[in-house]
Amino acid sequence: MRALRCDLVGGPRERRWFLAKQRQPRTSAAQPAEAPRRPALQEVTQFMLLEREVEVQYRPLMREALQSKVTAVADSLRGQTPTCSRCSQPMKRHDTETVSWEARVGHLHASVDRYRCPRCKDESRPLLDLLGVEPGRISGSLARLLALLAVVTPYALAAQLAWLLLGVKVSDMGVWKVVQRLGESAARYSEGLSQYHADSRSEGASTREAPPAVVLSVDGSMLGMQVRKQRRRRTGAEPLPPLPAVQEGQFQEVKTGVLLLPAERVETSPGRHSVVRRFLVSCLGDADTIFARLYAQLRELGWVGSDTVVVIVGDGAEWIWNRATMFVRRCEILDFWHALEHAWSVARLLYGEQSQLADRWVHQIAEDLRAGKVQEVIARLQRMRPKTPELRAELQGLIAYYSEHAGRMHYDEYLRLGYGIGSGAVESAHKQVVHARFRQAGMRWSEAGARRLLALRLLLLNDDWALLDRLPMISIA
């Protein structure tokens, strides 16, 4: 800005005068007659005080009521001898101990009988198995609520929100442990469901009302991983072993798929569409894993009948089209915007960066592709005579790319059927599933930690969080 002002001044003498004037200390503005007042805060409203008073008064009563119900359940099991799950023989009572655990209303405890099988040496604590709690652990609805907070926000902030929203003090590590135990349970359930539906003898949901077409879009996104998979451990009084060398570029691909129905795509504004509902599938596995889970989700929803056309939208990656053959009735679509990206590479070399001629050239290709004239576009590209080796190589690559995927570029027909021609749904899914939680500043993940949190986040985004109430909390070593 100063350089611009100097150019506006006349000769060298005027410029020197202008610069000297700029260096002069500026006089401060006139001070107001009165010092500014500090912004005032109002008193806490009477209603908020009443709310907190009632919560403080009745929270102990709720804990006492829940404790009495736990005691009643424990008393109902007195005298009942469990049988061994392995040999079906009656077990013998070994001892009784008082255990405690953390619940939403506070600290609970119970006297628990421990039984042992004389033959198999297996142990059982029927009361804890019936209640679904573990000694000394956060259990019940409190664990599910803490996991819910951690699914949408980092662990440290989730611990703060637990105090502000639930009135429960918990450490960051306490929230992390809950997520690991519930996330492992959710991940195992998802993997087991995929294996179940992979067997042709398994039964899926009824396909009586299967849709005529279902859109499947899949893509990958990179996730920063921890460079050291295991922590260093001290042996006795010896010093910790040296840190291993840090390797750059520690990333792993998260594959995400979206399932939606073309009939549920609505136009929210001219040229802009949205979907009424969608189902997300994501994993840290390979291409076979994500397609196995997509197929399992289709069967679980009852969306893949004998006459259902599975529309696969992809960006041209070979791993997508190689796995798409698992669907007999399918329609493969190359992402329209990905096809134009290749055209832009040629246009920049042909007309230069930020050229209006390049804009018009790509716009004409886009209009022709949207009208289903892919063969005309290829013929026009073949008639071009590039002047540089770089442009010739880029043009030949574009012609080969369009020729290879010509059968997936009948965009006029796809638009007429309502399938859509872009992969915007899966791009949006990446932002919601991965970016919003896993790719915040400085975040690096272990494979197990990412897999567990990913399973929980999918339950929330698919509006299936209630399923977590029916999953056990798994102990993590």
Q: Is the pLDDT of residue 263 over 60?
A: yes
Q: Are 98 and 108 in contact (CB under 8 A)?
A: no
Q: Tell me, what's the pLDDT at 35?
A: 87
Query: Are the CB atoms for 181 and 473 separated by under 8 Å?
Result: yes
Mean pLDDT of 111-131: 93
In contact, 284 and 450? CB cutoff 8 Å: yes
Res 3: pLDDT: 45
Helices 374-382/389-404 angle, 10° precision: 160
- Which of these, 70, 112, 103, 232, lies nearest to 178 by C-alpha position? 103
Sign of CA dihedral 240, 244, 249, 250: negative
Rounded to whole angstroms, the Cα distance separating 298 from 262 reads: 15
pLDDT in tens, 415-428: 999 898 988 889 88
Q: What is the pLDDT of residue 266?
A: 77
Instruction: Give the mean model confidence (pLDDT) for residues 17-31.
Output: 58
Answer yes or no: is pLDDT of 199 > 50.
Answer: yes
Burial 72-110 (b: 16+ CB within 10 A, else e): eebeeeeeeebebeeeeeebeeeeeeebebbbbbbebeb
pLDDT tens-digit series, residues 314-372: 988 899 999 999 999 999 999 999 999 999 999 999 898 888 999 999 999 999 999 99
Alpha carbons within 13 angstroms on the beta-carbon side of residue 405 total 26
> Residue 34 — pLDDT band, cuts 50, 70, 90?
confident
| pLDDT given for residue 14 in this prediction | 57
* Length of the chain as a residue count: 477
For helices 356-370 and 374-382, give the axis angle rounded to 10 degrees.
140
Residues 6+ apart with CB under 8 A from 380: none
| Cβ atoms of 115 and 124 closer than 8 Å | yes
The β-bridge partners of 331 are 311
Q: What is the pLDDT of residue 271?
A: 67
230 or 297, which is more confident?
A: 297
Whole-structure pTM value: 0.84
**Averaged confidence pLDDT in the chain:** 89
Which one, of 227, 184, 156, 233, lies nearest residue 445 by Cα? Answer: 227
Q: In this predicted model, what pLDDT tens digit does every residue of 50-66 receive, in sequence order?
A: 999 999 999 999 999 99
pLDDT of residue 12: 54
End-to-end Cα spacing for the chain: 62
Sheet with 106-116, side-by-side order of all strands: 92-103, 106-116, 123-124
Model pLDDT, residue 439: 92
Q: State the pLDDT at residue 247.
A: 59
Please name the residue that has the structure tokens 């040296």.
242
Say if residue 7's pLDDT is above 60: no
Q: What share of the chain in percent tops pLDDT 90?
A: 69
Reading the block at residue 283, the tokens are 């994993």
Q: Two tokens at 3?
A: 């350089």
**CA angle (338, 342, 347) in 5-degree steps:** 135
- Taking CA atoms, 163 is separated from 51, 107, 160, 168, 439, in Å, by 16, 16, 5, 5, 25
The phi and psi torsions of 314 (rounded to 5 degrees) equal -140, 170
User: For position 227, what pLDDT does the model report?
Assistant: 67
* CA–CA gap between residue 121 and residue 125 (Å, rounded): 13
d(CA 285, CA 331): 25
- Across 254-270, average pLDDT: 86
Which residue has 């469990």 as its token pair? 82
Q: Are 285 and 253 in contact (CB under 8 A)?
A: no
